[in-house]
Amino acid sequence: MKKYLIFIIFIAAIFSQSLSSYSFNSSVSTSLAGTAVSNRLGIWSVYHNPALLVESENNSASIGYSNLYNQSFLPLSNFGLVIRTNKINLGIKFSNLSVKNQNIDLLKESLFGVSSGIYLLNDNNSSLAMGITGNLYMIDFGPSAGSLGDGSNGLDSDPISSLGIDLGFLGVLRDKNRLGVFIKNINSPTIGGGFSNQNLPRVFHIGLTTIPNNFMEVSFSAEQLLGYHSTQYRTALQYKLNRSLQLNTGVQINPNRFGIGFSYQKNSFNISYGYLTHHVLPGTHQFNFGINF
């Protein structure tokens, strides 16, 4: 069964480059089933819509870890840094995903991104922000099987890389209603060469968040992989039990997935956990730890 899962995920990674289209890059996004384009995400905003960076009030650093689909051979880790300046807020992120079998890396996929967000309009009633992210995608496939068939004496392949540009917008009306738009890989990047050259996925994500009171947020979003007819619809709820503890839950349709989790903040420290089901594979647990400074 394990080898069957490895084969499916490895082949899927070859044709989709999972980090370039993966929506659940933080435990908060995981718990909200990917509804993370117009929400108030605070320290975790660096992993999502870059326009959200304008709302960061502190310098912050965060790390996260997960085994995708609860499989030890699919470790996903990330690191994020938000730096405030007088005019713009900057974000730096790094994500790494690998596929392992018998301590051999079949695939290593890394993403290094630099983001910035600025206000285009900001008054007492409304605001409009824009953010941009430059992502460097790096992919390194494992060695060939070799004469022994286990890769120990196989031939290594050269790493490949590509540059993608993300664009995001955030509109806020009276601090109650929020509209977010996020376009991933707007520059239509390709990766590889010759027969292996392929387009990286382009994603359009739009979301609406309403804040009826000080302790609850309700969000709706739709994500479309450009070039495909299937749209993913999502809805999520964030509920603050007190100043420190917030509960998160979300639902995705097409395919059907359910997320749940929490965030706990004490002074400058933040711990977040998210769990997301899958319609075929086991669910995914994800943890993040962050600090403001």
Residue 123 included in any domain: yes
Q: What is the pLDDT of residues 133-151, one digit of tens each?
A: 999 999 988 777 676 766 6
Does residue 149 fall inside a structural domain? no
Mean pLDDT of the region 246-268: 96
Residue 189, phi then psi, degrees to nearest 5: -75, 155
Range of the domain at 205: 2-144+156-292
Q: Is residue 189 part of a domain?
A: yes
Give the pLDDT of residue 7: 47
Q: Is residue 150 part of a domain?
A: no
Q: Residue 9 pLDDT > 70, yes or no?
A: no
- pLDDT at residue 18, rounded to an integer: 56
Q: Is the pLDDT assigned to residue 204 strictly greater than 80?
A: yes
Confidence band of 14 (pLDDT split at 50, 70, 90):
very low
Q: Does residue 201 fall inside a structural domain?
A: yes
**Spatial contact of 207 and 218, defined as CB atoms under 8 Å apart:** no
**How many domains would you assign to the chain?**
1
Provide the CATH number for the domain around residue 226: 2.40.160.60
pLDDT for residue 16 is more than 60: no
In a domain, residue 263? The reply is yes
What does the alpha-carbon distance between residue 273 and residue 247 come to, in Å, rounded to a whole number? 10
**Encoding tokens for residue 44?**
């975790």
Q: What is the structure's pLDDT at 105?
A: 78
Max intra-chain CA distance, the chain: 69
* The predicted structure's pLDDT at residue 152: 65
